[in-house]
A and B are shown apart, each in its own frame.
Chain A
Amino acid sequence: GCGARAGDEAAGSATSAAPSCVDTSGPTVKLGFLNSLTGGMAISEKTVSNVLHMAADEINAGGGILGKKIAYVQEDGATDWPTFAEKTEKLLTQDCVAAIFGGWTSSSRKAVKPVVEKHNGLFFYPVQYEGLESSPNIYYTGATTNQQIIPAMDFLASRGVKKLFLAGSDYVFPRTANAIIKLYAAKLGIEIVGEEYVPLDKDDWTSQVAKIVAAKPDFIFNTINGSSNVGFVKAYYDAGLTAATTPIISVSIAEEEAPAMGHEVTGHYASWNYFQSLKTETNPKFIESWKAYPNSSGVTSDPMEAAYISLYLYKALVEAAGSFDVDAVNAAAKKNTITFDAPEGKVTLDGDNHHISKPGHIGQINANNQFDIAWASDKFIEPDPYLEGYDWFPADIRKQLTDAAG
């Protein structure tokens, strides 16, 4: 061992990233797409991967980024977080891509984060998540908590909900989201009458639903991810619960999942920023392009849209910076002028925390498994990953979290 030791960092530059190997001298720019195409999360991520391809095709058809066509390198994260880390490293150091797009679970993002930070790369993450994170090397185009969870809670409060049951998958996003929900519920005067978790890869919810029946909540806050939702919904109806008496509000059931539940889910709610049913200027074109795209699922959804945005946002950033260089891109972001006419509306990038402004929407599932908008925020919600604008979130936790993040 002749390398740097702890404490040496300040002295030498040994630990700073090796110079980037990105080569944009040719007619193309290389980008990396990273999603689980195999394993358990392929269920959700294949669509994200596919819509990224569509965005790349569109951009190429429109002349590319800074006049350079996108040549993408597709990698499989295989639902395995270390694989996400390995592939990120490969994309950055072997393939020399200018930026990486993809991921779904927060776990995969957390695996990617240290690697992009080490190599000073860029990662665009498209799924709603639990917040309390920021990184100079990650751009978040899905909702943070104050754009999805908090609107949902406000909606519940407005509906006079007094007793809430929390059901989630057993991993970082639902656990963290629920921790935040509990803090906010206390402030709103909503009682949490139960909290249940089932592993991501299990879908028998019978026992937990029996507890829900016994707890008699007014509403269920559902942070279950993936196909475990199906088991939850089935157990829910088996037990005689209905949308009329005990409705569910979900943050991971979208247009694609709703018809796959094996039961009518009409009447339940979901909190997202984008719905297929949104009436914006750009949405019809997005829906049409997607329907026409090979291997399309036929419906659009929030994570897809966020993934779609991410590539365009990157294009805007690079063109503002006039360069593919990461530092230049970040500097361009800092000017807070980057916007994009997204299907969900005109979103603005916050150059400090690397999140985007988003409209809050609550949709109610109708008979066509589409969402009728039941509530909309009056304006776009500015991203606030550390919930600094919310006094009920304990400052000491925030401090500890930011400290721990370094």
Chain B
Amino acid sequence: MTKKPWISLGGIGVFAVLLLAVAPLVLSDHWLNNLGKYCCWAIAAVGIGLAWGRGGMLVMGQGVFFALGAYSMAMHLTLESAGDRVPGFMVLYDPLAPLPAFWEPFRGAGFTLLAIVLLPVVVAGILGYALFKRRVKGAYFAILTQALAVALATLISSTIRETGGDTGLSDFKYFFGFVLNDPANKIMVFLIAAGLLVVCLLVVWQLYRSRFGELLVATRDAEERVRFLGYDPANVKLVAFVVSALMASIGGAMFVPIVGIITPAEIGAAASILMIAGVAFGGRASLFGPALGAMAVGWGQSSLGSTWPDGWTYILGLLFIVVILFLPNGLSSLPARFAAARRRPEQKAAPSAATPELEEVRS
């Protein structure tokens, strides 16, 4: 009980070495860049693990927060590339109009970084406060957040002059003064993303072993009961939700320089669900599960989707079905399962492992 967190910490250490030291040495530029992209999804996934796995909030609209980070970053990089001109894609629709007002502050690097951190905190804070105080949960919460992602993606698609629309923002030349085409800078960007992933893992590691982690699980399993212990469950959930939103935003922000393009499709319904797929696959309530799962799904998409495009869709579909049906706690629960199977069968085990039962759906 008391030893396990330190083993996990060691795990994070090994993971960090593999990612930050080994990967840049052994991978080609292309695959390192892809790995960077998976890291971005993994960062978001770590947040989803916190909100959904531990907190029981099925966040189906993390694309919204991913978008806040991604578009903040993309607007800055677009302006950086455009210099003092209005970005090219805007010219056609209204050649004489100035830069939209909300773009202007994103010229500043400091403002951009601040926005990446503060926007998700504020938006998730307001949204979460409103939803949790009114006790919106379970399927309602899931569908609402998903609807929000759809709405935002549609909004971006339909405001082509202001946001680039469906085509998105791309063709960035610089990253805070660094030339993006330079391979050395690409490695630097990768290291930043990978480093942030490690930091996020450390954050949830501490959260999970803290009293807050226990309280969060308690809230997930019996929200009303927590109320009768003198806590406001809304606040507990809010903290987890905001942290997960922040992580999604950071993932989104790093996605932009790495992938070089951001479009509404990356933040809409399908993308938001794909983020969840990785988390479910790896193990929603575990420490490493969400990150590794997201990376695995990302890799699957790049490589299997390449050699076998039709098949990949079927594999992805089956992945959802098989994992959720047979392994609700994801691949990371496999070792524990084997171990438990070998232990004395007489020993009492917890009634059901971490499967958040959400009554609201039916009540």
A interacts with B: yes
Question: Which residues of A come within 8 Å of B, CB atoms?
Answer: 1-6, 8-9, 14-15, 18, 37-38, 75-76, 78-83, 85-87, 89-90, 93-94, 106-107, 110-111, 113-115, 118, 132, 170-172, 175-176, 179, 197, 199-200, 394, 396-397, 400-401, 403-405
Residues of A within 8 A of B160 (CB): 170-172, 175
CA distance A340 to B31 in the complex (A): 39
- Across the interface, name the chain B residue whose C-beta is closest to A173: B167
- Shortest CB–CB separation between residue B93 and chain A, in angstroms? 6
Question: Which of A90, A115, A172, A199 is B167 in contact with, Cβ under 8 Å?
Answer: A172
- Across the interface, name the chain B residue whose C-beta is closest to A94: B30
Best-surrounded residue of A4, A38, A87, A179 (most CB of chain B within 10 A): A4
Is B259 in the interface zone, CB < 8 Å from A?
A: yes
Q: Are A6 and B263 touching (Cβ within 8 A)? A: no
Residues of A within 8 A of B165 (CB): 170-172, 175
- Across the interface, name the chain B residue whose C-beta is closest to A130: B92
> Given that A3-B185, A85-B261 are known contacts, is A400 also in contact with B95, CB under 8 Å in the complex?
yes
| Residue interface mask B233-275, A partner, CB < 8 A = 1 | 0000000000000000000000000011111011000000000
Q: Are A171 and B260 touching (Cβ within 8 A)? A: no
- Shortest CB–CB separation between residue B308 and chain A, in angstroms? 9
Question: Which of B179, B184, B187 is A6 in contact with, Cβ under 8 Å?
Answer: B179
CA distance A172 to B164 in the complex (A): 8
| Residue interface mask B22-33, A partner, CB < 8 A = 1 | 000000111101
Residues of A within 8 A of B171 (CB): 110, 113-114
- Shortest CB–CB separation between residue A5 and chain B, in angstroms? 5
Q: Are A4 and B185 touching (Cβ within 8 A)? A: yes
Q: Are B263 and A404 touching (Cβ within 8 A)? A: no
Residues of B within 8 A of A37 (CB): 309-310
Q: Are B183 and A3 touching (Cβ within 8 A)? A: yes
Residues of B within 8 A of A86 (CB): 34, 37, 259, 302
> Given that A93-B28, A404-B87 are known contacts, is A75 also in contact with B177, CB under 8 Å in the complex?
no
Q: Are B261 and A81 touching (Cβ within 8 A)? A: yes
Q: Are B185 and A82 touching (Cβ within 8 A)? A: no
Residues of B within 8 A of A400 (CB): 85-86, 88, 91, 95
> Given that A38-B310, A199-B154, A401-B91 are known contacts, is A81 also in contact with B167, CB under 8 Å in the complex?
yes
Beyond known contacts A115-B260, A170-B166: 14 more, CB 8 A cutoff: A1-B185, A2-B184, A3-B188, A6-B174, A37-B309, A78-B305, A81-B265, A85-B261, A94-B28, A106-B167, A114-B171, A170-B157, A179-B92, A396-B95
| Residue interface mask B52-85, A partner, CB < 8 A = 1 | 0000000000000000000000000000101001
- Shortest CB–CB separation between residue B270 and chain A, in angstroms? 8
> Given that A4-B185, A114-B260 are known contacts, is A405 also in contact with B88, CB under 8 Å in the complex?
yes
Is B333 in the interface zone, CB < 8 Å from A?
A: no
- Across the interface, name the chain B residue whose C-beta is closest to A401: B91
Residues of A within 8 A of B92 (CB): 132, 176, 179, 397, 401
Residues of B within 8 A of A15 (CB): 179, 181-182
Q: List 17 A-B contacts (CB under 8 A).
A: A2-B188, A3-B179, A3-B188, A6-B174, A76-B312, A78-B309, A80-B266, A81-B263, A82-B259, A82-B260, A82-B263, A83-B301, A114-B170, A114-B260, A132-B92, A175-B93, A397-B91
Is B168 in the interface zone, CB < 8 Å from A?
A: yes
Residues of B within 8 A of A110 (CB): 167, 170-171
Residues of A within 8 A of B33 (CB): 89
Q: Are B305 and A76 touching (Cβ within 8 A)? A: yes
Residues of B within 8 A of A107 (CB): 166-168, 263
Residues of A within 8 A of B206 (CB): none
Question: Which of A76, A94, A179, A199 is B157 in contact with, Cβ under 8 Å?
Answer: A199
Q: Are B306 and A85 touching (Cβ within 8 A)? A: no
Is B103 in the interface zone, CB < 8 Å from A?
A: no
Q: Are B91 and A404 touching (Cβ within 8 A)? A: yes
Is B158 in the interface zone, CB < 8 Å from A?
A: yes
List residues 130-181 of chain B with CB under 8 A from any CB of chain A.
154, 157-158, 160, 165-168, 170-171, 173-174, 177-179, 181
Is B8 in the interface zone, CB < 8 Å from A?
A: no
Residues of B within 8 A of A8 (CB): 179
CA distance A38 to B265 in the complex (A): 14
Residues of B within 8 A of A83 (CB): 301, 305
Is B313 in the interface zone, CB < 8 Å from A?
A: yes
CA distance A72 to B55 in the complex (A): 48
Question: Which of B31, B34, B167, B309 is A38 in contact with, Cβ under 8 Å?
Answer: B309
List residues 5-35 of chain B with CB under 8 A from any CB of chain A.
28-31, 33-34
Q: Are A4 and B170 touching (Cβ within 8 A)? A: no
- Across the interface, name the chain B residue whose C-beta is closest to A15: B181
CA distance A94 to B260 in the complex (A): 18
Q: Are B174 and A85 touching (Cβ within 8 A)? A: no
Q: Are A4 and B263 touching (Cβ within 8 A)? A: no
Residues of A within 8 A of B30 (CB): 89-90, 93-94
7 closest A-B pairs by CB: A404-B88, A3-B184, A76-B309, A3-B185, A3-B182, A107-B167, A171-B166
| Residue interface mask B277-317, A partner, CB < 8 A = 1 | 00000000000000000000000011001100110110000
Q: Are B182 and A397 touching (Cβ within 8 A)? A: no
| Residue interface mask B314-343, A partner, CB < 8 A = 1 | 000000000000000000000000000000
Residues of A within 8 A of B88 (CB): 400-401, 403-405
Q: Are A87 and B306 touching (Cβ within 8 A)? A: yes
CA distance A172 to B279 in the complex (A): 34
CA distance A154 to B85 in the complex (A): 34
Residues of A within 8 A of B166 (CB): 107, 170-172, 200
Residues of A within 8 A of B262 (CB): 82
CA distance A107 to B160 in the complex (A): 12
Best-surrounded residue of B165, B173, B261, B266 (most CB of chain A within 10 A): B261
CA distance A114 to B184 in the complex (A): 18
Residues of B within 8 A of A113 (CB): 171
Q: Are B157 and A171 touching (Cβ within 8 A)? A: yes
CA distance A152 to B279 in the complex (A): 51
CA distance A176 to B91 in the complex (A): 11
CA distance A32 to B175 in the complex (A): 30
Residues of B within 8 A of A176 (CB): 92
Residues of A within 8 A of B154 (CB): 199
- Shortest CB–CB separation between residue B84 and chain A, in angstroms? 11
> Given that A200-B166, A394-B95 are known contacts, is A9 also in contact with B85, CB under 8 Å in the complex?
no
CA distance A140 to B227 in the complex (A): 65
- Across the interface, name the chain A residue whose C-beta is closest to B161: A175
Q: Are A179 and B93 touching (Cβ within 8 A)? A: yes
Q: Are A90 and B181 touching (Cβ within 8 A)? A: no
Residues of A within 8 A of B313 (CB): 38
CA distance A76 to B308 in the complex (A): 9
- Shortest CB–CB separation between residue A63 and chain B, in angstroms? 29
Q: Are B309 and A111 touching (Cβ within 8 A)? A: no
Residues of B within 8 A of A81 (CB): 167-168, 170, 261, 263, 265
CA distance A405 to B88 in the complex (A): 7
